[in-house]
Each structure stands twice: as structure tokens, then as C-alpha cells.
Amino acid sequence: MKVAQEIRVGNVIMQGKDPMIVLRTEYSRGGRGAATVRMKLKALLSNMGTESVFKADDKMDQVILDQKECTYSYFADPMYVFMDDEFNQYEVESGNMGDAMNYLEDGMSVEVVFYDGKAISVELPTSVEREITWTEPAVKGDTSGKVLKPAKIATGFEVPVPLFVNQGDKIEIDTRTGEYRKRV
């Protein structure tokens, strides 16, 4: 059990019978009133979002989720299929994949997150290397400040990149923000 003011972004708590992931917390202390914590939550199983306000000393059950390293195998509409080292297959619904779909490649190593033995989502490495499949050529003289141009990777995801990046170059992308890091 944890009190509400100790809960951080990324923690999973039980609210009623639903496991909820904390997306944002905001601690506030009133003049004469008790301190409160406003949380933006998302249900792990149904992806429904909600906002709740708790007293700072409310007790909550924190859920520890299991994770297993797996590799991406294939897409079977509407499920993404992953396989572990023992050749067990796990299916994750496309609605629970979030931004991970933008970076998936065959054979890519990811962490599959489980709740009660059911695969519910995927955690990617913090950065991935991808090849640019399309980008416009740089316009000479357009260099006042930090100028970015759109570039697409094999999945069709568009990343803003600096002007010196060309088609066929490999780049490193931060999967948390979707931003270009460097050319590899």
C-alpha cells in the first residue's frame, strides 16, 4: 500500500477493480484544507482515460506488472504477435500498442508487459536505429536557425530531421518523444 502523494507517473494502481496506469500527477496544498493529488489515469485493459482527485494521505494498492523480453514476429489483424526464447507466442491488441507501432520491425526485441498472465502492452527500448526511406532534398540557403524537414522510415512514420540527412541514411530516434537524435 502506498499513499497518494508517493504515486508517480508510470505507476499502476488499482481503482475499484480496474488496474490504472498513472499518466500525470499534480500535488496541491490548499490554504486551510487538506493537501490533494490530482491524477490523470488510463485503464490498462480498456484504455479509457479519467481524472481523479485524492487526499494526499489516501492509501492505494500499487500493482507490480510482469515483463518478459520477446521479439516481434508478425501482425495478424488486430493482434501483434510476439515470441519469447521458449517459442511461446503472446498477442497484444493493436489498441494497446500506442506509439510502439511506429517503430516495430520483424525480429525487434521488446519488453512485453503482462497483467494476470495476459499480455497487455509493449515497452520499446529508449532509442532505435532506422533507415530513411523518403525525404526531400535540402534547399540551399535555408539554414537560418534549426531547420527541420520531414522524413519517413519503413513503417511510414514521419520524423522531423535536420537538412543534412538524406534518403538512405540511418538515424537514431528517441521512442519516448519521436524525435531525431543523431545520424548513425
Is residue 148 within 8 A of residue 138, CB to CB? The reply is no
Is residue 60 within 8 A of residue 4, CB to CB? The reply is yes
Q: Give the CA distances from residue 162 to residues 44, 88, 152, 166, in Å, rounded to whole numbers and listed in that order.
A: 37, 42, 13, 9
For the full predicted model, state whether its pTM sits above 0.85: no
- pLDDT above 90 covers a percentage of the chain that reads 47
13-22, 64-73, 80-89, 159-168: range with lowest mean pLDDT: 13-22
Q: Residues near 87 by Cβ (< 8 Å), separated by ≥ 6?
A: none
Cα angle, residue 86 at apex, residues 83 and 88 outer, rounded to 5° = 45
46-60, 65-79, 131-145: range with lowest mean pLDDT: 131-145
CA–CA separation, 23 and 20 (whole Å): 9
| φ, ψ for residue 4, nearest 5 deg | -60, -35
- Rg value, the chain, Cα: 21
Residue for grid cell 522524413: 151
Which triple of cell numbers denotes residue 9?
507517473
CA–CA separation, 99 and 173 (whole Å): 13
pLDDT, tens digit, 9 for 90 and up, residues 91-106: 988 877 878 889 999 9
CA–CA separation, 176 and 107 (whole Å): 20
